[in-house]
């Protein structure tokens, strides 16, 4: 407002309406775009396991810990560092791996997985491919994280289903960066050695490492720019929608309208994954909370 000599919000709003280029400037400076790969890594670990459950995989598969490499985590507290190292006790040259007994794992989980559209599509080849939407996707780390997870499973499981991943965001600059897929050290701070070694190439720069995301995996994700408060460009219905850390910025009216839009784009049995600080409470009858720790909801009607 100071830069364009506007004294009130109303004056600045009028200025934006009469100067279209100002809207792009505003979005570039006002959008938060805070993200990184495997943000809240346990959410992605759970998503990985849901897919394994849907596959009803009978044999043990090679399962890699999602916990990030301790060497990337700045040591704020020695106790925290010790806990990280304890979790990675299986470490072998920085790669943590163990066999996941899927038969015993399935027995420990809720039956809701069988009610998901994901389960139905995976177990019925005649149905369409799995569709996943990351909204808002910022500079692409979240949808690329999902792409890594699916590719990792796809390499191990011959009968793995087809899938499509899309990411959308209001910030065109962020979408442009997502399409380029070149990242700094902050973006990969939660990436384990296993995923880093397989999906990134690294180049040493003056101010630190630069990470180039795998070109083949990039092709599994489509990006486009949109204002999701006005709707979604695709007509698709999705099996999973990740909408994390957006609802907290909406007032109640916009929140309700936006959630209705998400609901329309979810398959019956589709999963909605919110951020760790977000909840639907009990205000939305069409959604049921199925994972309180990871804030995962299923569309039930």
- Determine the pLDDT at residue 77: 43
Q: What is the pLDDT of residues 67-109, one digit of tens each?
A: 777 766 554 344 444 444 443 333 333 334 444 444 433 334 4
Taking each helix axis as running N to C, give the angle between helix 20-30 and helix 172-180, from 0 to 180 degrees, rounded to the nearest 10: 60
H-helix or E-strand spanning residue 243: strand 238-243
pLDDT at 271 over 70: yes
Q: Which of 255, 252, 194 is nearest to 62 (CA)?
A: 194
Give the domains, in start order, of the chain with CATH numbers: 1-30 (no CATH), 33-299 (3.40.50.150)
The mean per-residue pLDDT over the stretch 191-198 comes to 92
- Determine the pLDDT at residue 90: 33
Q: Helices H, strands E: what count in the chain?
A: 11, 12
pLDDT band at 65, cuts 50/70/90? low
The mean per-residue pLDDT over the stretch 108-115 comes to 74
**Is the distance from CB of 167 to CB of 221 less than 8 angstroms?**
yes
Higher pLDDT, 207 or 288: 288
pLDDT at 191 over 70: yes
Tell me how far apart the alpha carbons of residues 269 and 62 are, in angstroms, rounded to a whole number. Answer: 28
Count of beta carbons in the 10 Å neighbourhood of residue 48: 20
Q: What is the pLDDT of residues 157-183, one digit of tens each?
A: 888 899 999 999 999 999 999 999 999
SS3 of residue 164 by DSSP: strand
Q: Mean pLDDT across the chain, nearest whole number?
A: 84
Higher pLDDT, 207 or 1: 1
The secondary structure of residue 233, as a DSSP letter, is: S
CA–CA–CA angle 191, 131, 145 (5° rounding): 5
The mean per-residue pLDDT over the stretch 105-116 comes to 67
Tell me how far apart the alpha carbons of residues 251 and 269 are, in angstroms, rounded to a whole number. Answer: 27
- Determine the pLDDT at residue 58: 53
**Whole-structure pTM value:** 0.81
Tell me how far apart the alpha carbons of residues 148 and 218 are, in angstroms, rounded to a whole number. Answer: 10
High-pLDDT (> 90) share of the chain, %: 61
Tell me how far apart the alpha carbons of residues 170 and 142 are, in angstroms, rounded to a whole number. Answer: 15
- Token pair for 301: 């009607």
SS3 of residue 184 by DSSP: coil
The secondary structure of residue 69, as a DSSP letter, is: P
């Amino acid at each position: 407002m100071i830069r364009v000599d506007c004294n009130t919000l109303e004056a600045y709003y009028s200025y934006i309406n009469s100067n279209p280029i100002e809207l792009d400037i505003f979005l570039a400076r006002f959008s938060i775009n805070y993200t990184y790969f495997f943000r809240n890594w346990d959410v992605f670990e759970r998503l990985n396991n849901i897919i394994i459950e849907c596959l009803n995989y009978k044999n043990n598969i090679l399962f890699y810990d999602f916990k990030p490499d301790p060497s990337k985590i700045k040591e704020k507290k020695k106790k925290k560092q010790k806990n990280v190292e304890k979790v990675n006790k299986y470490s072998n040259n920085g790669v943590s791996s163990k066999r996941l007994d899927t038969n015993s794992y399935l027995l420990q989980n809720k039956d809701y997985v069988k009610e998901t559209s994901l389960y139905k599509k995976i177990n019925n080849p005649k149905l369409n491919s799995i569709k996943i939407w990351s909204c808002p996707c910022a500079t692409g780390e979240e949808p690329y994280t999902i792409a890594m997870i699916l590719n990792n499973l796809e390499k191990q499981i011959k009968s793995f289903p087809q899938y499509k991943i899309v990411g959308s965001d209001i910030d065109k600059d962020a979408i442009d960066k997502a399409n380029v897929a070149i990242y700094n050290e902050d973006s990969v701070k939660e990436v384990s050695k296993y995923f880093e070694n397989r999906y990134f190439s690294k180049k040493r720069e003056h101010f630190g490492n630069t990470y180039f995301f795998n070109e083949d995996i990039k092709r599994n994700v489509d990006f486009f720019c949109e204002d999701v408060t006005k709707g979604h460009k695709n007509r698709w219905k999705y099996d999973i929608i990740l909408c994390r850390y957006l609802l907290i910025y909406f007032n109640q009216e916009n929140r309700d309208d936006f959630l209705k839009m998400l609901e329309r784009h979810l398959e019956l049995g589709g999963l909605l994954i919110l951020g760790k600080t977000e909840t639907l409470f009990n205000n939305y009858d069409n959604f049921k909370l199925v994972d309180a720790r990871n804030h995962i909801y299923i569309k039930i009607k």
